[in-house]
Amino acid sequence: MYAYDELDRTIINERVSEFRDQVKRRLSGELTEDEFKMLRLQNGVYLQLHAYMFRVAIPYGTLSTKQLRALAHVARRYDRGYGHFTTRQNIQFNWIKLAELPDALADLAEVGIHAMQTSGNNTRNVTSDQWAGVAPGEVEDPRIWSELLRQYTTLHPEFSFLPRKFKFAITASDHDRAAIKVHDIGLRLYKNAEGETGFEVLVGGGLGRTPFIGKTIKPFVHGHDLLSYVEAILRVYNQYGRRDNIYKARIKILVHELGIEKFAQEVEEEWLQMRDSALAIDDAVIEDIRSRFSYPAYEKLPHMPEELKKAAHDPHFEAWRKNSVFPHKVPGYAIVTLSLKPVGGPPGDATADQMDAIADLAEKYSFGEIRVGHEQNLALPHVARRDLPALWKALDKIGVATPNVNLVSDIIACPGLDYCSLANARSIPIAQELTRRFANHETANMIGRLHVNISGCINACGHHHVGHIGILGVEKNGEEFYQITIGGRADEQAAVGTLIGPAVPYGEVADVVEDIVEAYLALRARPEELFIDTVKRLGVEPFRERVYATR
Amino acid sequence: MTSPLEQKKIRITGPSVVTANRTWDGVVIYRTAQQGWSAELSDAAIVRTSEEARALLTESIADDVGAIGAYVAPVEVKDTGAIKPGNLREHIRLQGVTIELPVPA
Amino acid sequence: MPLVKHGKITNDALVHVADDAEIPGDGAILITAARFLEDAEGLSRRAGRIGVIWPNNRDVDDLVPYLDRLAVIALVFPTFRDGRAYSQARLLRERHGFKGELRATGQVLRDQFVFMLRAGFDAFEVKKESDAEAFAATVKRYSVFYQPTGDGRLTALHRRMQLRHSESASQ
């Protein structure tokens, strides 16, 4: 957990005052909507179908108990009692009133939470691996660097009006849980042959209308040079990114149009002129940020405590343990994923009551810390294995212990046409129906790891391009239709999925997914061959044949 | 239901209304025939030609303080005279989400 | 459109000369980049001070050879959402050491004053009278800054370092 100091809190409070003044001037008419819209976006305030939507930042997906309670408070006091966790580790509230936003922000500021730059044409939440700091085999905690980047990018005077939004992600593990290859800047932390910490820097990844997998612009940037190198990239983008067409304004288009070599050259030229400037990070600064991250005082605990042995006879507990509990770098501890994908429920939502209960459980069992993953689940990162049975009982009671993590019913979905003014079609009811079709845990386990992603429009907030099965809502003659892709991946082997055939109507989507799963079960070489590997081995054709045989 | 935010020309295919969101709280509203706004669709002014639609939209947009995001939306007018939303998107805006809220309202 | 300098509304010392108008023999003038570059040498020999309006879609590199002869460079925000002039301003100030007046023009609104100051602007052609009047108060909105620019303000990171040193020094 990063401890905000006086300086961090001052910025947040000053931002809240500024926004309060801006809202006042908007409501009095002193600011037109044209002048105000970008200002409210820079504080995470969208206009959606029914109301304003408020997107609160959860920097690199880390929350304290106190902070989660504050989010519950906002849900209750200013909204309709629930929130939605997003694919960028943030949280969204759907019914907020503009006039009350400054108060909501002030309440959040008291616990160091803000909504700065969660929207707008600026640099957004720096996301990371939700297991950062506790994953076995991690090089070092990437959140140190995420925090450095967060501070560097917050209210940056030069880069607050970029051609378009700009997203960073950082990973420090071999298995990329942060999807860095589909971000504007992706950073892979590692140590070079000399043992120095640095980053492979990728640029130009992104989804949306024109998906691209990020390309390596520089194989190793020393940690000291991270900020100056990022500044060089941003400056080239700010000056040369297209501003004539919002669909061609992301950096991925600039990289594509220039070519990665030319783009890298432009950045290098710029960087060489500023690398030894005030942006050079010295070790003292890194240590200072690191020192503000507190880590638990872990005890020396056994891997197989009595409590766990005793609980092993309970098949429900065991089903959950095998599914939702993951190895921790400290012996005797575990990382626990809390599924926010209950059968029949909207994926990624949590009620205020659930948030409060989870906050309490985090305090009791996870040193007061919670994580938010981009797959729209939560995690408790520091659970002693001896506490797993007691924790499970409590999680089950509040409905966040569905043992479907990473399985077919662990669906990632955007809010879709039920909420979002950009959507062509609904996504949540599709997700709900799929969780019902695949509610049986034995079946889901037999199918194995399978990521289903649903987006209600081409903006791809549900990351459908990189789903093992991707579902994209489109509109045909006023009806909701869905294009289905397979073979996408968001991890270190990132790939964009392939369309399997013509779009199908709303009522058939669940059937199609069932057909795809059936095809996989028939085609897989052996039970251990994952869906994604079967698609890789055989291609899309065998699936297309089976699914569209009768359509 | 292509987002009307993409509307460039005002082309209407049947009876339409102008709708927006109220600035201070985001609530869905409809332009009335009395240069005002109402949260009730039944109060909405109905336009039937592109010119009427353009005129109503222009007048609505001029109220920058009271409403934001005004656009022209299709409606169905029943024989009884009752006005209904003309597509799924407008239905959702009027009636709310098509799913159960996680917390009873 | 009020011009704000040193935190208050002042008179513009420069006369804006249109491209097709004759350039007066003396007096301070503001002309377009195209006009200036047509006869940079000749204009540099003028008695009066020269200001150039530089478009936001052109590299400032082309203006760099003449910086020591310019009293004012006016950069442009065609809309406040087009942030290219922020980069241009920083490059002119920090990389090329421009010491003259750096003026923000175009859609210059209250809520970008702090960003503009930090990027190196010191004069502002403010769109609204009310914004110009609120300038001095507006620039006090923020007292903590995370990233270094040429404005000389200490960043939060460095203030922390200083605090640490003074803490350990007093132990």
Task: Write down the mean pLDDT value for chain B.
Answer: 91
**Three-state SS at A433:** helix
Are the Cβ atoms of A158 and C142 closer than 8 angstroms?
no
Q: How many CB atoms lie within 10 A of CB A341?
A: 26
Beta bridge partners of B38: B30
Please state the φ and ψ torsions of residue A486, each to the nearest 5 degrees.
-135, 160
At C108 the pLDDT is 98
SS (H, E, C) A490-548: CCCCCECCEECCCCEEHHHHHHHHHHHHHHHHHHCCCCCCCHHHHHHHHCCHHHHHHHH
Write the residue in A50, A99, A429 that is nearest to B28 by C-beta: A50
Q: What crossing angle do the helices spanning A251-258 and A226-240 adopt, rounded to 10°?
A: 80
User: Residues B40, B16: contact at Cβ < 8 Å?
Assistant: no
Instruction: Name the residue type at position C46.
Output: R
Q: Which residues contact C22 (CB under 8 A, 6 or more apart)?
A: none
Taking only the tens place, the pLDDT of each residue in C24-81 is 988 999 999 999 999 999 898 888 999 999 999 999 999 999 999 999 999 999 999 9
Six token digits for residue A223? 């940690």
Interface test with A, best of C56, C76, C143, C146 (most A CBs within 10 A): C146
Are the Cβ atoms of A429 and B99 closer than 8 angstroms?
yes
Write the residue in A82, A97, A421 that is nearest to B102 by C-beta: A82
Q: Looking at CA atoms only, how far is residue A235 from chain C in angstroms? A: 7
Q: Looking at CA atoms only, how far is residue A349 from chain B in angstroms? A: 8
Instruction: Name the residue type at position C153.
Output: R
Q: How many CB atoms lie within 10 A of CB A501?
A: 15
For residue A102, give the nearest of A74, A130, A123, A65 by alpha carbon.
A74
Beta bridge partners of C53: C32, C74
Q: b/e string for C60-79 if b means 16 or more Cβ within 10 A? A: beebeebbebbbbbbbbbee
Write the residue in C90, C111, C144 that is nearest to A11 by C-beta: C144
Separation of alpha carbons A507 and A387, rounded Å: 44
Four-residue CA torsion sign, A89, A95, A98, A101 = negative
Are the Cβ atoms of A151 and C147 closer than 8 angstroms?
yes
User: Residues A90, A58: contact at Cβ < 8 Å?
Assistant: yes
Separation of alpha carbons B27 and A48, rounded Å: 10
Instruction: Kindly indicate the confidence band of residue B7, based on its pLDDT and cuts at 50, 70 and 90.
Output: low
Domains and CATH numbers, chain A: 6-109 (3.90.480.20), 142-290 (3.30.413.10), 306-397 (3.90.480.20), 412-548 (3.30.413.10)
For residue C111, give the nearest of A124, A42, A153 by alpha carbon.
A42
The ranges assigned to domains in chain B are 13-94
Nearest CA in chain A to B87: A478
Q: Looking at CA atoms only, how far is residue A26 from chain B in angstroms? A: 7
For residue A484, give the nearest of A507, A445, A521, A455 by alpha carbon.
A455
Q: Looking at CA atoms only, how far is residue B27 from chain A in angstroms? A: 5
Taking only the tens place, the pLDDT of each residue in B60-92 is 999 999 999 999 999 999 999 999 999 999 999
Instruction: Kindly indicate the confidence band of residue B5, based on its pLDDT and cuts at 50, 70 and 90.
Output: very low
Are the Cβ atoms of B102 and A425 closer than 8 angstroms?
no
User: Residues A63, A367: contact at Cβ < 8 Å?
Assistant: no
Separation of alpha carbons A239 and C91, rounded Å: 11
C chain contacts of residue A158, beta-carbon cutoff 8 Å = 83, 86-87, 90, 115, 119, 149
Are the Cβ atoms of A33 and B64 closer than 8 angstroms?
yes
Write the residue in B28, B99, B101 that is nearest to A432 by C-beta: B99
Nearest CA in chain B to A100: B25
Largest CA distance in chain C: 70
Interface test with B, best of A25, A475, A482 (most B CBs within 10 A): A475
Q: Looking at CA atoms only, how far is residue B48 from chain A in angstroms? A: 20
ipTM over 0.95: yes
Separation of alpha carbons A123 and A183, rounded Å: 12
Q: Is B55 on the interface with A (CB under 8 A)?
A: no
Are the Cβ atoms of C147 and A156 closer than 8 angstroms?
yes
Give chains near B: 3+ CB pairs under 8 A.
Answer: A
Q: Looking at CA atoms only, how far is residue A31 from chain C in angstroms? A: 10
A338 φψ region: left (φ > 0), alpha (ψ -120 to 50), beta (else): beta
Nearest CA in chain B to A426: B98
A chain contacts of residue C147, beta-carbon cutoff 8 Å = 151-153, 156-157, 279
User: Residues A255, A215: contact at Cβ < 8 Å?
Assistant: yes
A chain contacts of residue B63, beta-carbon cutoff 8 Å = none
Eight-class DSSP state of A60: G
Long-range contacts of A527-531 (CB under 8 A, 24+ apart): A527/A446, A527/A448, A528/A448, A530/A448, A530/A449, A530/A450, A531/A447, A531/A448, A531/A449, A531/A450, A531/A468, A531/A469
For residue A169, give the nearest of A177, A161, A160 by alpha carbon.
A177
Q: What crossing angle do the helices spanning A509-523 and A531-538 adopt, rounded to 10°?
A: 80
Separation of alpha carbons A421 and A395, rounded Å: 34
A chain contacts of residue C119, beta-carbon cutoff 8 Å = 157-158
Topology of domain C3-140 in CATH is TIM Barrel (3.20.20)
Beta carbon pairs, A and C, within 8 Å: 95
| Angle (CA) B35 B41 B47, round 5° | 60
Eight-class DSSP state of C154: P
State yes or no: pLDDT of B6 exceeds 50: no
Separation of alpha carbons A209 and A226, rounded Å: 30
Instruction: Name the residue type at position C170.
Output: S
Give me the residues of chain A with pLDDT under 50, please.
none
**Residue with token string 């006091």:** A77
User: Residues C103, C73: contact at Cβ < 8 Å?
Assistant: yes
Q: Which residues contact A95 (CB under 8 A, 6 or more apart)?
A: A50, A51, A52, A79, A80, B26
For residue A428, give the nearest of A436, A440, B105 by alpha carbon.
A436
Taking only the tens place, the pLDDT of each residue in A224-275 is 999 999 999 999 999 999 999 999 999 999 999 999 999 999 999 999 999 9
Q: Measured between alpha carbons, how far apart are the two ends of chain A, in Å? A: 52
Taking only the tens place, the pLDDT of each residue in B36-47 is 999 999 999 999
The ranges assigned to domains in chain C are 3-140, 143-171
For residue B44, give the nearest of B9, B73, B67, B24 by alpha carbon.
B73
Please give the distance of CA A250 from its chain centroid, rounded to a whole number. 19
- pTM beyond 0.90: the answer is yes
B chain contacts of residue A99, beta-carbon cutoff 8 Å = 24-25
Q: Could you write out the DSSP letters of every residue in B40-73?
A: -GGGPPPB-SHHHHHHHHHHHHT-TTTEEEEEEE
A chain contacts of residue B92, beta-carbon cutoff 8 Å = 49-50, 417-418
Whether chains C and B touch (3+ CB pairs under 8 A) is answered by no
Helix locations, A186-295, DSSP H:
226-240, 251-258, 260-272, 283-291
Write the residue in A47, A82, A419 that is nearest to B21 by C-beta: A47
Separation of alpha carbons A407 and A520, rounded Å: 14
